[in-house]
Chains A and B, each alone.
Chain A
């Protein structure tokens, strides 16, 4: 039966090419617009570490002793003392301290002008914890952290820039005025968002594009990084002015992030009480005032809290779907016109014994076929749309490609929209009274 309906649908579509083209175009444009924005949305709101994100947590304590604000949430990042204390306790499966800073980078063996690059100073667990892929070599060891080793891991980008993409492990890199040895080169790595640096999204007014920048180009052990680039570390915020700007180890400032990996619910509960215990102990020591203000959020909870997806992207998605709704209404109207025009034909079919259900099914097949054609058009328009997005000056532009799941979504959405659009006209068509139509033939 389906084959027969398909044949009828094709004939009907061919009979009025202009109307068919109008409907296909309307669906294609609507789908193209909404799928372009949906793909960007999917790209920006996805899980940066599928399968692993559930075990990653972001501890927070409130070291700000002032009472200027309500302290409903601790500050977004940590002060040096709390972060290092919590890290040194090694109470999680893995833990990584993170701080970034900008510095001058040069390869002594390569005759290129010095570059200013972002350096991420972290601890050895960072790489296994966040599944960071290596092209050559590997990360450093816990021992290197301990010994303030002068080693570094560099990004694929920087390796291409400085060493033409060859294996640079063992080569020297000059960071500011310190020579370090390269121990690892990353594969191209582009988490979306750059989740481990996310903070302050609540205060960003929806302008959160910066959360999608590329990872840093140089990675050094936390202890070494603080020494190499001393004087160039900037606070997230301070509750008093720091005495030594750029050197914040003893400053009343927050500037360090701590991430922990906790493999089971029991460990999470344990860590939560450890965190509370630490804050209470620090309160007893007089360093922390708001001891009960601790948090342990999972990676995805933390991203949600920070509203990582920029508000412009939300706005575009809303707009695109409003547009799709208009295209939907448009298609409903045109389908209605199309089906009712064939009232006589439908009357004959009904008189010859086709049930209402059969007529309804036939009309839906026709609508679905239009959806499929619209889906193909929509897919092409989505590709054009994403090409336009890639030409935009946004930091995430380079990631805007259609993946397999969004490819299928395009067609599912197109067919669903057309079936939805076809339902009402098909219902109308199936209720045509055969006798009345036969009389007017």
Chain B
């Protein structure tokens, strides 16, 4: 197959060629970035929580008086523990993918000069760490005497476990065990490192900061009540939660059962990423529509070219070109145009990515998306050109003898 005559022919259709190439270029830029956005969102959907989601559920109670909190806790803990199939019930202020009650900025010195970052404090009662299934990688988990009563929002002095990514952020490259940090005047000492513990609202945080969490052991009380962690066999968890709802109505009529907040962890996770899933759906829709429109554009224009060149095709066929030659001619022509478009599109893709990086805190587009985009567009071009090219190949040589 000679490329020379194809290029010569394209030079006579400069405008139309440019248009298809530009369309391909734009499609390439949007396609690469949209795929990248999808990959980012999908990664977010699969964020590692570090907890045994399938075995957990939460019950959230509101509307009770603070003065009744201790009494309520006692009633609820006893009541819920009596539900058949319940493995454990504990209190935990914040819930992964659920209620957020412990977001605060910490400092690495007592004077508050060295800011460490905004983290999530999970204040949990006895048993909550085991119930979550947190994995301590170094140091130790909470001991029974680490759990103390407290006044105010949080224990003012405690031995805590922090996630590995937070440790790496606060004290890069050094052993975090025994290190201290402060929340205003309140003091905490790191005694253990946990693998992962996701924030309640991972969608709102970038990169590793999704996992900046601290586990603070404490005893249930006025400010650690109404938020319960239920653990049961994954097969039982939905039924246990339903039973818990019925039990609460009996044992705590003074409290309001928060329907929105009381769910299995599976449902909480689904809910908290609903919007990201919708965005992925929308992006996929845009990509499909985009490919469709591009393909239709190619079909339309190539059909026109075929019709325009009927006579020439007839002549080529008459002087010995096979059907295959004609077919290959249009296929090669399309390949050349699409390639030109892709080269342009790669540049455009990076420009678009730069804009997105500036405004939406998106990471840089990895190079791997470019070959993927190219292959998709080459395939699309070949697919679109096939119909008109087959029609061109079907032109009978006899056309050449007519009206010449």
B interface footprint on A375-411 (CB within 8 Å = 1, 0 otherwise): 0000000000000000011100000000000000000
Give chain A nearest CB distance to B330 CB in angstroms. Answer: 15
Q: Are A333 and B23 in contact (CB under 8 A)?
A: yes
- How far apart are the CA atoms of A64 and B155 in the complex, in Å? 25
A interface footprint on B201-237 (CB within 8 Å = 1, 0 otherwise): 0011110000000000000000100000000000000
A288 is an interface residue with CB less than 8 A from chain B:
no
Q: Are B152 and A206 in contact (CB under 8 A)?
A: no
Known: A311-B360, A312-B275, A322-B30. A26 touches B23 (CB 8 A): no
A337 is an interface residue with CB less than 8 A from chain B:
yes
Q: Are A206 and B184 in contact (CB under 8 A)?
A: no
B278 is an interface residue with CB less than 8 A from chain A:
yes
Known: A330-B294, A334-B300. A205 touches B15 (CB 8 A): no
- Nearest residue (CB) in B for A246 is B66
Chain B residues near A333 (CB-CB < 8 A): 16, 19-20, 23, 297, 300-301
Q: Are A68 and B115 in contact (CB under 8 A)?
A: yes
Chain B residues near A326 (CB-CB < 8 A): 23, 26-27, 30, 290, 293-294
Indicate which residue in A66, A319, A337 contacts B34 across the interface (CB closer than 8 Å): A319
Residues of A98-142 whose CB lies within 8 A of B? 102-104, 113-116
- How far apart are the CA atoms of A145 and B202 in the complex, in Å? 41
Give chain B nearest CB distance to A223 CB in angstroms. Answer: 21
Indicate which residue in A116, A204, A319, A393 contacts B62 across the interface (CB closer than 8 Å): A116
Chain A residues near B19 (CB-CB < 8 A): 329, 332-333, 336
Residues of B1-42 whose CB lies within 8 A of A? 15-16, 19-20, 22-23, 26-27, 29-30, 34, 37
Q: Are B62 and A104 in contact (CB under 8 A)?
A: yes
- How far apart are the CA atoms of A341 and B310 in the complex, in Å? 13
- Nearest residue (CB) in B for A322 is B30
Q: Are A241 and B152 in contact (CB under 8 A)?
A: yes
Q: Are B300 and A323 in contact (CB under 8 A)?
A: no
B171 is an interface residue with CB less than 8 A from chain A:
no
Known: A326-B290, A337-B301. A241 touches B296 (CB 8 A): no
Indicate which residue in A23, A329, A394 contacts B26 across the interface (CB closer than 8 Å): A329
Chain B residues near A22 (CB-CB < 8 A): 296-297, 299-300
Give the B interface residue count (CB, 8 A).
Answer: 59
Q: Are A205 and B23 in contact (CB under 8 A)?
A: no
Give chain A nearest CB distance to B70 CB in angstroms. Answer: 15
Interface centre among B29, B153, B282 (most CB of A within 10 A): B282
A53 is an interface residue with CB less than 8 A from chain B:
no
A interface footprint on B152-176 (CB within 8 Å = 1, 0 otherwise): 1100000000000000000000000
Known: A33-B286, A241-B153, A312-B279. A329 touches B297 (CB 8 A): yes
Chain A residues near B308 (CB-CB < 8 A): 341
Q: Are A322 and B26 in contact (CB under 8 A)?
A: yes
Give chain B nearest CB distance to A66 CB in angstroms. Answer: 8
Chain B residues near A345 (CB-CB < 8 A): none
B interface footprint on A11-49 (CB within 8 Å = 1, 0 otherwise): 000000001001101100110010000000000000000
Q: Are B360 and A114 in contact (CB under 8 A)?
A: no
B357 is an interface residue with CB less than 8 A from chain A:
no
B interface footprint on A263-279 (CB within 8 Å = 1, 0 otherwise): 00000000000000000
Chain A residues near B294 (CB-CB < 8 A): 326, 330
Chain A residues near B16 (CB-CB < 8 A): 333, 336-337
Chain B residues near A177 (CB-CB < 8 A): 65
Give chain B nearest CB distance to A393 CB in angstroms. Answer: 4
- How far apart are the CA atoms of A231 and B65 in the complex, in Å? 10
Give the A interface residue count (CB, 8 A).
Answer: 57
Indicate which residue in A33, A206, A246, A316 contacts B289 across the interface (CB closer than 8 Å): A33
- How far apart are the CA atoms of A315 and B300 in the complex, in Å? 30
B274 is an interface residue with CB less than 8 A from chain A:
yes
Chain A residues near B15 (CB-CB < 8 A): 336, 424, 428
Chain B residues near A337 (CB-CB < 8 A): 16, 300-301, 303-305
Indicate which residue in A103, A320, A330 contacts B293 across the interface (CB closer than 8 Å): A330
Chain A residues near B85 (CB-CB < 8 A): none
Chain A residues near B184 (CB-CB < 8 A): 240-241
Indicate which residue in A26, A205, A245 contacts B153 across the interface (CB closer than 8 Å): A245
Residues of B173-188 whose CB lies within 8 A of A? 183-186
Chain B residues near A245 (CB-CB < 8 A): 152-153, 223
- Nearest residue (CB) in B for A391 is B278
Give chain B nearest CB distance to A175 CB in angstroms. Answer: 11
Q: Are A241 and B23 in contact (CB under 8 A)?
A: no
B399 is an interface residue with CB less than 8 A from chain A:
no
Q: Are A311 and B359 in contact (CB under 8 A)?
A: yes
- How far apart are the CA atoms of A334 and B153 in the complex, in Å? 67
Known: A102-B62, A394-B275. A323 touches B290 (CB 8 A): yes
A144 is an interface residue with CB less than 8 A from chain B:
no
- How far apart are the CA atoms of A315 and B283 in the complex, in Å? 10
Give chain A nearest CB distance to B37 CB in angstroms. Answer: 8
- How far apart are the CA atoms of A332 and B27 in the complex, in Å? 15
- How far apart are the CA atoms of A182 and B301 in the complex, in Å? 69
Interface centre among B183, B256, B283, B307 (most CB of A within 10 A): B256
A314 is an interface residue with CB less than 8 A from chain B:
yes
Residues of A330-382 whose CB lies within 8 A of B? 330, 332-334, 336-338, 341
B366 is an interface residue with CB less than 8 A from chain A:
no
- Nearest residue (CB) in A for B107 is A68
- How far apart are the CA atoms of A241 and B106 in the complex, in Å? 12
Indicate which residue in A314, A323, A338 contacts B359 across the interface (CB closer than 8 Å): A314
B144 is an interface residue with CB less than 8 A from chain A:
no
- Nearest residue (CB) in A for B206 is A205
5 closest Cβ pairs, A-B complex = A337-B304, A330-B297, A104-B63, A329-B23, A393-B274
11 A-B contact pairs sorted by A residue (CB < 8 Å): A19-B304, A26-B296, A30-B293, A113-B256, A205-B361, A231-B66, A245-B223, A246-B66, A330-B293, A341-B308, A394-B278
